Amino acid sequence: MAGHLGRAMSFGIPDLALGLVLNYVDDPWDRDAISLVCRHWNRFDAQSRKHVTIAMAYSTTPARLLRRFPCLESLKLKAKPRAAMFNLIPEDWGGSATPWIRELSASFSCLKVLHLRRMIVSDDDIAVLVRAKAHMLVSLKLDRCSGFSTLSLALIARSCKKLDTLFLDESTIAEKENDEWLRELATSNTVLETLNFFLTDIYASPEYLALLVRNCRRLKILKISECAMPQLIDLFRTTETLQEFAGGSFEDYLDQGGQSRNYNNYYFPPSIQRLSFNYMGTNEMQILFPYCAALKKLDLTFTFLTTQDHCQLVQRCPNLEVLEVRDVIGDRGLEVVAQTCKKLQRLRVERGDDDQGGLEDEHGRVTHVGLMAVAEGCPDLHYWAVHVSDITNAALEAIGTHSKNLNDFRLVLLDRQPQITEMPLDNGVRALLSGCTKLRRFAFYVRPGALSDLGLSYVGELSKTIRYMLLGNVGSSDDGLLALARGCPSLQKLELRSCCFSERAIALAALQLKSLRYLWVQGYLASPTGGELMAMVRPFWNIEFIAPSQSQPGQAQILAYYSLAGARTDFPPSVIPLHPSVRI
Amino acid sequence: MAAEQQTRVKGAGGGNRFAAACGLLRQYQYMMGQGSGSGAAMATMGLMPGADGVEAAHVTPEERIKNTMELLLFPQRPGTLMDNSHQRILVPERAQLTIFYDGRTFVLDDFPADKADQLMQLARSFAAPAASDDELVCPSMPAQHFLEDMPRKASLQRFLEKRKSRIAAADPYLVAPARAAKETAKPVAVGDGGAPWLSVNSGLNLN
């Protein structure tokens, strides 16, 4: 019917109404769908799009972004592959923010929120950004970035008076002893709500932190680097609005006088809801007890707590929505979580120390027992990442049966135990994927033999909605990967590690996966020349080969992604582009 | 691995040879009556059968690999692979030519076999002296290229290292007993009224 009507009337919606309706459409997936209806709608979306996430900075250019979305207010940009967080990507891989910051500063007149993740941001970049955007910048996130110094932080603090969010989580920042920036921030900014420099190693003096809290009365989230907890008492007594705190540092077990430190009088404001402490031990844990009932988030990843300590703490926290721990929590700890935390939405169980070295507090092990308990006890879980030491099909089936709200599930099977109770896990994975119908992200990093080619065919068949997948040590032949690639119709990003797939199969899979736009592979059966990768050559598909080097030993990596920008030109010697753009 | 080898070649000043190879290719194209502009178009089109969605429909990726001849300007083991390529290019009179060199790829459609032969001769003359250089010998790769190690998040790695040094600093000689003594000395367990997990032997965890 639409074929008989003019484009302007085909949907019976006047432009004014269309504009009003679009104001209420924020979901980027909905926006993408709208922009594909017709040129007219595409223009409408382009003019009214407020936020864009670019998952791979080299997939487009700043100029192209400007052409399509000139009124952008907020941009999130990611560059280095995720593997960079595991020290697998050469430091000089690329990912400079310079071309982006130049264009954003010069041309995006509405931009006020910028989030750069895994990029290299220089002091010059920040100077350019501040010069152009100081009067509008509301939120700046330099998330796992590097290349800048605290001098730039001081410039930001001095100049960006409207900044309500400054986020530097896990960034590598030079001039780390200089905390003048913090004083500048405390004295120049009165609207700050979030300050995060958690897991950085820049120094922050307790005096300036206290000053900040005194002056920024709206501060809700404060996540800092290591700073002795006894020196932060004033800060916590001053603030009335703080909801989240992370960082600090509980001192060594004994102070210099040989006395155990006394934290009995420690105090947190009643507004506190989310906490994360560095190096907290058994003796200090008790300072949390009075606040446990109100806690929504608890991050114990960087503590010294034992399995028993985890049990005692969690037992007191019935309102937890987010819990992050190492596997020292053990199955016993997870059973307590299952009994206590009925509102839990996010659970992360990280891998603890493999090398025991006499540290008997690391005895905790997470297995199918803990998984089954949590699956049955925490029905609201939507994010669950867990490192397990042992696993059974029944545990995965239990997750499929009970965890109906999961949209992100990541399981790593550690290689500590010589024997796994049950392998392969094909049927368990089938049950999990059949049951968890909301799953969008799925990681299954196991041990050789834990997921057969048949299991991979189940994954292909049952992951209709999954957009991101990480698979490690799966499959036993190319057939497995090709069977996977016959399914997965929504898969956009695939990471493969430590699998026995040939280059040829990887290339064929990349061609077969209809939605794929990003592929990262490390550990595969390489051909003598690397030439079989060329089978996946196609328009706009950049293929990069990361060769092992002295500074980056290990195995070669393949990174391939769709790009409208063509091949990039900023390769270090260790990155070799395989791209048909070289012209003779 | 080829890529590694290519990097080394690059480092060893392969640029001149590369430039010479490009020059030669350009010369062939002129001889075949093509300007450099159309040559570029061809090189790109040959690699992009999916561009208009027509060819992709009837050429499967497998077939494409079969149809594409590979010519290595810098083979891994000079002599053996070259002979292979040599035999392959003699079969059809004209075919698509793909060259991997210095990490880059060149694709030429309808490349005459005799010209390819000459190109090979040229490549051989470049490769022979270079290959005698120890620097350029590609290390033999193990049969299994997949990994066994499991990477750890950098943030967690840093924490665990600090944690170790802290515990060692607290008692550099007897880390374990000191820690154990601390555990038993703590009053928390008593106060909690015999919760089952407090007395569990850690060995139970290991199944």
User: Which pLDDT value is given to residue B30?
Assistant: 53
pLDDT at position A543: 94
Cα A533 to chain centroid, rounded: 29
**Is A366 part of any domain?**
yes
Do A319 and A465 belong to one domain? no
ipTM above 0.90, yes or no: no
What CATH number is given to the structural domain containing A291?
Answer: 3.80.10.10
In a shared domain, residues A506 and A424: no
DSSP string, A82-139: GGGGGT-S-TTS--BSHHHHHHHHHH-TT--EEEEES-B--HHHHHHHHHHHTTT--E
Asked whether residue A420 falls in the same domain as residue A398, the answer is: yes
Q: Is the pLDDT of residue A186 over 70?
A: yes
Q: Are residues A406 and A486 in the same domain?
A: no
Contacts of residue A492, defined as CB under 8 A and 6 or more positions apart, other chains included, come to A467, A468, A515, A516, A517, A518
pLDDT-derived band at A4, boundaries 50, 70, 90: very low
- Enumerate residue ranges in chain B where pLDDT < 50: 1-16, 33-91, 103, 127-145, 174-207
Compute the distance between CA of residue A443 and CA of residue B138 in angstroms, rounded to an integer. 35
Confidence (pLDDT) at A18: 87
Rounded alpha-carbon distances, angstroms, from residue A55 to A68, A126, A569:
17, 21, 19
Domain region containing B167: 152-188
Same domain, B17 and B102: yes
User: What pLDDT score was predicted for residue B11?
Assistant: 38
A-chain CB neighbours of B108 within 8 Å are 584
**Do the domain assignments include residue A353?**
yes
Residue B27: predicted pLDDT = 57
Is it true that the peptide bond before A424 is cis, omega within 30 degrees of 0? yes
> Does the residue B146 lie in any domain?
no
Q: Residue A522 is part of which domain span?
A: 440-536
B141 in a structural domain = no
pLDDT per residue as tens digits for the range A47-69: 999 999 999 999 999 999 999 99
pTM as predicted? 0.78
Q: What tokens does B100 get? A: 């991997």
Q: Is there a domain that residue B205 lies in?
A: no
- Identify the band that residue A528 occupies on the pLDDT scale cut at 50, 70 and 90: confident
Question: Which one of A536, A551, A579 terminates a domain?
Answer: A536
Nearest CA in chain A to B181: A360
Banded model confidence at residue A297, pLDDT cuts 50, 70, 90: very high
Mean pLDDT score, A148-172: 97
- Do residue B82 and residue B173 come from a single domain? no
Of residues A459 and A13, the one with the higher pLDDT is A459
Buried (b) or exposed (e) across A6-16, using 16+ Cβ within 10 A? eeeeeeeeeee
Residue A290 to chain B, least CA–CA distance (Å): 15
Q: Is the pLDDT score of A81 beyond 70?
A: yes
- At A495-514, the pLDDT tens digits run 999 999 999 999 999 999 99
Residue A260 DSSP code: B
Predicted local confidence at residue A482, as pLDDT? 98
| pLDDT of res. A119 | 98
Spatial neighbors of A246 by CB under 8 A, at least 6 apart, are A196, A198, A222, A223, A224, A274, A275, A276, A277, A299
pLDDT exceeds cutoff 50 at A215: yes
User: Nearest residue on chain A to B172, judged by CA atoms?
Assistant: A358
Same domain, B88 and B50: yes
Residue A339 lies in a domain: yes
Same domain, B86 and B8: yes
* Residue B22 domain flag: yes
A180: pLDDT confidence band, cut at 50, 70 and 90? very high
Q: Is A293 helix (H, G, I), strand (E, B) or coil?
A: helix
Are B66 and B160 contained in the same domain?
Answer: no
Residues facing A148 on adjacent strands: A173
| Confidence at residue B69, expressed as pLDDT on a 0 to 100 scale | 36
Residues B22 and B84 in one domain: yes
The answer on B52 and B8 residing in a single domain is yes
Cα–chain-centroid distance for residue A180? 30
Answer whether residue B143 is part of any domain. no
Return the DSSP state at A525: B
- Section A120-138 average pLDDT: 97
Whether residue B173 is found in the same domain as residue B127? no
Query: Is the same domain home to A285 and A392?
Result: yes
Residue A361 lies in a domain: yes
Does B153 contact A86 at a Cβ distance shorter than 8 Å?
yes
Please tell me whether residues B111 and B177 are part of one structural domain.
no
CA distance A487 to chain B (A): 17
> Does residue A472 sit in the same domain as residue A415?
no
Q: Are residue B6 and residue B77 in the same domain, yes or no?
A: yes
Single-letter amino acid code for the residue at A255? D
SS3 at position A333? helix
Are A359 and A325 part of one and the same domain?
A: yes
Q: Residue B111's pLDDT is what?
A: 74
Residue A498 CA to residue B145 CA, distance in Å, equals: 8
Write down the pLDDT at residue A85: 95
pLDDT of B26: 55
Q: Do residues A309 and A433 share a domain?
A: yes
Looking at the structure of chain B, the number of domains it has is 2
Please give the pLDDT value at position A337.
Answer: 98
Same structural domain, A421 and A371: yes
Kindly state whether residues B12 and B107 are assigned to the same domain.
Answer: yes
Does A556 sit within 8 Å of B202, measured CB to CB? Answer: no
CA nearest to A325, candidates A374, A264, A267: A374
Mean pLDDT score, A163-181: 97
- Does B194 fall in a domain? no
Q: Which two tokens stand for residue A474?
A: 């799966």
Residue A299 and residue A310: Cα distance in Å, rounded? 11
Segment A414-421 shows an average pLDDT of 89
Q: What percent of chain A has pLDDT over 70?
A: 93
Domain ends where: A422, A439, A456? Answer: A439
- When divided into structural domains, chain A yields a total of 3
Residues B112 and B52 in one domain: yes
Average pLDDT over residues A248-262: 63
Joined together, the tokens standing for residue B4 give 């590694």
Residue A491 has pLDDT above 90, yes or no: yes
Q: Which pLDDT score, from 0 to 100, does residue A168 have?
A: 98
- Mean pLDDT of the region A81-107: 95
Please report the pLDDT score of residue A15 as a whole number: 83
Q: Tell me, what's the pLDDT at B13?
A: 39
Q: Which two tokens stand for residue B111?
A: 């490349």
Record: contact A308-B152, CB cut-off 8 A: no
Q: Which residue has the tokens 């099977």?
A: A413
Q: Which conformational region is residue B35 in: left (phi greater than 0), alpha (psi within -120 to 50 degrees), or beta?
A: beta
Residue of A nearest to B100 (CA): A531
Residue A376 shares a structural domain with residue A429: yes
**pLDDT given at position A315:** 97
> Who among B147, B176, B192 is closest to A312 (CB)?
B192
Q: Which of these three, B75, B102, B136, is where a domain ends?
A: B136
Of A439, A455, A485, the residue at which a domain comes to its end is A439
Distance of CA A299 to the CA centre of its chain: 15
Residue A31 lies in a domain: yes
* A475 and A413 within one domain: no
Answer yes or no: do B205 and A365 touch at CB < 8 A.
yes
State both tokens at A65.
């972004």
The pLDDT score that the predictor gives to residue A221 is 98
In a domain, A407, yes or no: yes
Instruction: Supply φ then ψ for residue A44, to 5 degrees.
Output: -60, -45
Q: List the single best residue of A529, A543, A544 to mutate versus B (max B Cβ within 10 A).
A: A529
* Contact at CB, B26 and A584, closer than 8 angstroms: yes
A338's CB contacts (< 8 A; 6+ apart) are A373, A374, A376, A377, A378
User: What is the chain A residue with the closest CA to B25?
Assistant: A584
What one-letter code names the amino acid at B98? Answer: T
For residue A313, is it within any domain? yes
Calculate Rg over the CA atoms of chain A: 25
List the 290-319 stretch of A: residues with Cβ below 8 A of B.
301-302, 304, 306-309, 311-312, 315
* Residue A548 sits at the chain B interface (C-beta within 8 Å): yes
